[in-house]
Chains A and B, each alone.
Chain A
Amino acid sequence: MQENKRLLMRLHPITTFCYMMAVLGIAMFCVNPVMQGCSLICACIFLRMLSERIVWRRVPAFVLFFAVIAAINPLFYHNGATVLFYLNGNRITLEAVRYGICTACMFGGVFLWCRSLSQIFSSDRILCLLGAVSPKASLVCSMTLRFLPMYARQMEKTKEQQRLLGLYRENTLIDRIRGSMKVFAAVTTWALEHSMHTADSMQARGYGVCRRTQYRRWRFGRMDAALCSWLLLLFIAIVIEINRGSVSMRFYPVTDAIPLGAESLLVYLCYAAVCFTLPAALCVLRFRRMMRERE
């Protein structure tokens, strides 16, 4: 919801970035049904915390997409020991089906995470992060972001004028493309000319005279430091464990059993802790605000 989003926006972009990297980095590159399921469930919960309501209309399309991804693997990949049935002379194996479902869970989880994370990763936060790496690039990006609505307005105006003059038609596809092209060309000239004024006025005001500094909207507070170090610690531990192979599974020719030893359980727990970091932080923030309001 809006309030949740606003509270999370108070965190420093670096914290959100660390969270995104930890969650997605592990979800994308670890093939393990427990981890994938965990990521999928957490993604659903996080999305629900951020958005107003579930758009039920979109759910069937999402499930269909999910099913297609799950089906692609067994249809095109025929290794595996257990043959379920033959399709056009090709073997459809249980192992390939399992791997397909696992992959589909991963894709679905990553899509949902991207959905929810892009809500708290607004463009100004990306610009803040980019500005720390390359100030010039962040300048160009922010200029572009400013130009976009301006050009959209100008295109609308040009289109109206063309329509008024009787030059713009949208009866057929060809007409529409031709008309759009004409508008596009007109706006291009205007944009290029206009940009020269921007450049000259920037020069006149002393752009490039000294090093570019950045306006920082966020402060890296105690909560950010705690969250970042917590995420980093868990992430490193999980990556080390993954590379030691305590949660890895072999799918072909025979699928291994899901690893459920003490170490693997610890890894699952750690990953769940990583995923629930921001939701938990959100709860803490809400609790704090409630206490303050009560006082």
Chain B
Amino acid sequence: MRQTRKKAMISIMILLFGSILLLVLGAAVFREKRYAWISLGIAVLSCAVMLHSFDRRHTHIRRLVFVAVMTALSVAGRFLFAMIPAFKPVTAVIVMTGMYFGTEAGFLCGAFTAVLSNFYFGQGPWTPFQMVSFGVIGLLAGVCHKPLKASRIALVCYGIFAGAFYSLIMDVWTVLWSQAAFEPDLYAAAILAATPFTLLYAISNVIFLLLMRKTLGARLQRVITKYGV
């Protein structure tokens, strides 16, 4: 237990120092679009740190396969609902993974879902940001799994938060990318333009989380008790 905490501390330290280094480097070296450089760098760095710590730690093979299954399910969910835009069970599945299998599984499920589903829906420079935002949604769900499992209201709130968070990160980045400096006006415009999507994300998250709370939750709990993961 102490060992894992120590490792977690080390990875957080690496992330912190790496981000500071990137900030300093970005401010000192890169002339143009320094915000875009820095944000992309931090996104890639945080994914790399999580992957590295996952790689170093010994994980039971069953957990590993579970992460693969949940990732495949969320990608398949994106396919299943491909005919309705922005109305996807992806976030809900990632949140459920975080709730039942822990923070790390949540992050990995989110990050891998972004990469793998983009093989079919189009890769691009937005992939690292999608990885981070989905990953953080899964990670936070793992952190506060107790209230999320206990009450329906907390789950609804988390669903709304996840939709808003995803939309905000993607918009921040679009604005940062197109602009040399961070312009509050453009950012506000981007948020305004993305409001329908934000609402759709939030609504679909809430609907799917409420639908899955019983069905998927019971199934995951059953597998956990049966196989002792």
A28–B207 Cα gap in the complex (Å)?
37
Partner of A184, one of B33, B80, B183, B207: B80
Interface centre among B51, B178, B211 (most CB of A within 10 A): B178
By the criterion CB–CB under 8 Å, are A143 and B65 in contact? yes
| A196 adjacent to B227 (CB under 8 Å) | yes
Which of A46-54, A58-66, A128-136, A268-276 has 4 or more CB atoms under 8 Å from chain B?
A: A128-136
* Alpha-carbon distance between A72 and B188 when the two chains are bound, in angstroms: 12
Interface: A41 (CB within 8 A): no
> What is the CB-to-nearest-CB distance from A190 to chain B, in angstroms, rounded to a whole number?
10
Name the residue of chain A whose CB is nearest to the CB of B67: A140
Residues of B within 8 A of A248 (CB): 31-32
Residues in B neighbouring A184, C-beta threshold 8 A: 73, 77, 80, 89
Counting chain A CB atoms within 10 Å of each CB, the highest count among B30, B68, B211, B216 belongs to B68
Q: Is the CB of B80 within 8 A of A140?
A: no
Contact A188 B124 (CB under 8 A): no
Comparing A80-88, A198-206, A256-264, the segment that makes contact with chain B is: A198-206
CB-based contact A136/B227 at 8 Å: no
Asked if A199 and B65 sit within 8 Å, CB to CB, the answer is: yes
| B81 contacts the other chain (CB 8 A) | yes
Residue-wise interface mask of A (241-279) relative to B, using a CB-CB cutoff of 8 A (1 in contact, 0 not): 011010010010000000000000000000000000000
CA distance A208 to B185 in the complex (A): 53
Interface size on A (CB < 8 Å)? Answer: 65
The CA-CA distance from A170 to B86 in the complex, in Å, is: 20
Contact B116 A188 (CB under 8 A): no
**CB–CB A141/B112 < 8 A:** yes
Asked if B152 CB lies within 8 Å of chain A CBs, one says: no
Contact yes or no, A140 B64, CB < 8 A: yes
* Complex Cα gap A181–B115 (Å): 24
Q: Does B123 contact A (CB under 8 A)?
A: yes
Which of A29, A155, A189 is the one whose CB lies under 8 Å from B32?
A29
> A17 on the interface (CB 8 Å rule)?
no
User: What chain A residues lie within 8 Å of B52 (beta carbons)?
Assistant: 134
Is there contact, CB below 8 Å, between A103 and B116? Answer: no
> Would you list which residues of chain B between 141 and 157 have a CB under 8 Å from chain A?
none
Whether A77 touches B219, Cβ cut-off 8 Å, given contacts A28-B125, A140-B71, A181-B211, is no
| CB of B54 closer than 8 Å to a CB of A | yes
Say whether B189 contacts A144, CB under 8 Å. Answer: no
The answer to whether A123 touches B72, judged by C-beta atoms less than 8 angstroms apart, is: no
CB closest chain-A residue, reference B55: A134
Q: Is the CB of A140 within 8 A of B108?
A: yes
Say whether B112 contacts A77, CB under 8 Å: no
B197 an interface residue at 8 Å Cβ cutoff? no
Q: Is the CB of A144 within 8 A of B116?
A: yes
Pair A141/B115 contact, Cβ less than 8 Å = yes
Contact with A along B197-229 (1 / 0, CB 8 A): 000000000010001000110011001000100
Contact B219 A189 (CB under 8 A): yes
With a cutoff of 8 Å between Cβ atoms, the chain A residues found around residue B29 in the complex are 243
Q: List 9 A-B contacts (CB under 8 A).
A: A28-B125, A29-B30, A30-B32, A72-B186, A75-B189, A137-B108, A144-B72, A144-B116, A196-B65
The 8 closest A-B pairs by CB, nearest first: A147-B72, A143-B68, A134-B55, A199-B65, A76-B189, A185-B215, A199-B62, A195-B69
